[in-house]
Amino acid sequence: MRDPEGIARAIAAAESVCICSHVNPDGDTIGSALAMRLALLGMGKRVGVFCQDKVPDDLCFLQGAKEIRHPEENQDRYDLFLSVDVSDVARLGACAELRQACENTAQIDHHGTNPGYAQVNSVDGDASATCTMIREQLEYLQAPLTREIAECLYVGISSDTGNFSFDCTDPEAFHVMGDLLEVGLPLAELNMILFREKSKPQLRLLGRAIEKMRFEAEGRIAVMTLTRQDFADCEALSEHADTIVNYGLETIGTCMAVLAREKDDGRIKFSLRARAPLTVDDVAAKLGGGGHARAAGISMEGSLEATTNLVVKEMIQRLKATMT
């Protein structure tokens, strides 16, 4: 359950706070972390923000993005560890060491599978984004909503709601958006940066994925794969593939989609999507991943072909179980 009062007490008792995002960061975890950073700095706290992996290029415009460090770079001690949008300890990656070094721990998250791994847990699996919870948290902290914080919150909310198109979008998301617009959020400008503009490597990679797309289960499951060679040929980064899976789900006749991509470390990263009433978080959980009901992810060891076949097999079983 949400516990903004408990989080506020933990922050009030701390002179320094270590804020951590999840591995392979997206807009919600980065937006949440940077919004909290700005609010806590305004309260006179010493703040460090950490993430195992680099911030996506299209989010580097956010204030404080260049201050996010790899946990191995840390030389300081903090009174409070605060994770945002991190569903479990494994999703902290290398930041788990920072958590162990802090006597006091807290978290703010919107994943329903979150086990409550901190001393103070503010978790709401029904929230559309962690950034909507951060907005509420700022009110409990009596922290002013600035334009810079609004930009961070917009990035997170728009990211996790598919620019307000996913079925997780709720009245709270629009209520918060009203607050953000009141302080001068440059909506059209940010919408262009986040959802319209694409780099040449992104477009080349998208073309490669669509060209290789195949369909399973009588056309109801779209399957796309990207090899390390595909990324090299397109001069693309892993982050350039983050939204490609949505094109599979947007294909007429499909109700599930999966994108498998080879990572530089040899592991295979899967992005899963589904339309209601189907779900993919259960498929991901069975294979060691997690996420939301209709947007989940998995990281697996093995060959691209073998792991993809395994994931698709589980998706077909979920499809059959739901449709019968």
- Cβ distance 148 to 111 under 8 Å? no
**pLDDT of amino acid 46:** 98
* Band of residue 12 on the pLDDT scale cut at 50, 70, 90: very high
Query: What string of H, E and C letters represents the secondary structure of 155-208?
Result: HHHHHHCCCCCCCCCCHHHHHHHHHHHHCCCCHHHHHHHHHHCCCHHHHHHHHH
Q: CB-hemisphere CA count at 13 Å for 86?
A: 32
pLDDT at position 40 over 90: yes
Residue indicated by tokens 């397109």: 234
At 142, the amino acid letter reads Q
The predicted pLDDT at position 116 comes to 97
Is residue 115 exposed (0-12), middle (13-18) or buried (19+ Cβ within 10 Å)?
exposed
Could you tell me the CATH superfamily of domain 4-195? inorganic pyrophosphatase (n-terminal core) (3.90.1640.10)
Task: Please compute the mean of the pLDDT values over residues 166-182 and round it to a whole number.
Answer: 95
* Three-class secondary structure of residue 78 per DSSP: coil
The token pair that represents 191 in the structure block: 């919408």
What number is the average pLDDT over the span 214-218?
A: 97
Environment class of residue 171 by beta-carbon count within 10 Å: exposed (0-12), middle (13-18) or buried (19+)? Answer: exposed
Say how far apart CA 172 and CA 34 lie, in whole Å: 20
C-alpha radius of gyration, the chain, whole number: 19
When pLDDT is averaged across residues 13-21 and rounded to a whole number, the result is 98
pLDDT-derived band at 151, boundaries 50, 70, 90: very high
In this structure, of 52-56, 163-167, 309-313, the range with the lowest mean pLDDT score is 163-167
Contact criterion met (CB below 8 Å) for 318 and 280: yes
pLDDT tens string 93-126: 999 999 999 999 999 999 988 999 999 999 999 9
Of all residues in the chain, the percent with pLDDT exceeding 90 is: 90
Q: What are phi and psi of 104, to 5 degrees?
A: -115, 135
The 10s digit of each residue's pLDDT in 262-282 is: 998 889 999 999 999 999 999
pLDDT band at 88 (very low <50, low <70, confident <90, very high): very high
Domain locations along the chain:
4-195, 200-323
- The gap between the terminal CA atoms of the chain, to the nearest Å, is 33
pLDDT computed for residue 53 by the predictor: 94
70 — pLDDT class (breaks 50, 70, 90): very high
Beta strands in 111-172 (DSSP E): 120-123
> What pLDDT sits at residue 166?
86
Domain 200-323 listed as CATH 3.10.310.30: yes
Q: List the structure tokens of 161.
A: 């709601």
Residues with Cβ within 8 Å of residue 72, at least 6 apart in sequence: 94
Report the C-alpha gap between 60 and 58 in whole angstroms: 6
Per-residue pLDDT at 308:
98
pLDDT at 208 over 90: yes
